[in-house]
Amino acid sequence: KLPTMKMLLLLVALLSAASAAPPTCYSRVLSLSKEITESFRQLQTSTTVDSCVGTLPRLYLDIHNYCVLAKLRDFVAYPGCDRVPEVNELKEKARSLYTILISYCRRDLVFLTDDCNALEIPISPPIEHS
């Protein structure tokens, strides 16, 4: 009876993996923008990184805001901190996101706003009361 149960579990696992949807352009852009925003936040709060990091343009990203394209372009083109490997890595991710947005996902995304000021001040998560 045990081998039958193992086979049944294996079959269920294989079927659920086979029916899993591949990542969409939207899901890839959303996850990459969150990753970039979080990496930037960590970089800003790190005490071990060069002081030039404080001069970098803000990098809060919302892929539903049309201004995100200009924000990414500005960040990648920013001349400061070229000697900091973490900044170069972040610029590479930002360049990748920009390329995905304008090339691969161009027809799949819908921008809900073009409020550039909204990208300057990140929305804080709601405060939980105990």
Residue 90 counted as domain residue: yes
Q: What is the pLDDT of residue 23?
A: 67
Percent of the chain, pLDDT > 70?
Answer: 76
Task: Report the pLDDT value the prediction gives residue 90, as an integer from 0 to 100.
Answer: 93
* 20 falls within a domain: no
Could you tell me if residue 68 is inside a domain?
yes
14 is a domain residue: no
What pLDDT shows up at residue 126? 44
CA distance 28 to 99: 12
- Do the domain assignments include residue 31? yes
pLDDT for 37 beyond 60: yes
- For residue 115, give its domain range: 25-119
Q: What is the mean pLDDT of residues 111-119?
A: 81
List Cβ neighbours of 118 (8 Å cut-off, separation of 6 or more).
62, 65, 67
Q: Is 57 within a domain? A: yes
In a domain, 5, yes or no: no
| Domains contained in the chain, number | 1
User: What is the CB-side half-sphere exposure of residue 123 using CA atoms within 13 A?
Assistant: 6
Helices (H), ranges, the chain: 2-18, 25-45, 68-77, 85-99
pTM: 0.71
- Tell me, yes or no, whether 12 lies in a domain: no
- All residues at 6 or more sequence positions from 113 whose CB lies less than 8 Å from its CB, including other chains: 64, 65, 66
pLDDT (tens digit per residue) in 74-95: 999 998 788 888 999 999 999 9
Average pLDDT on 18-35 reads 77
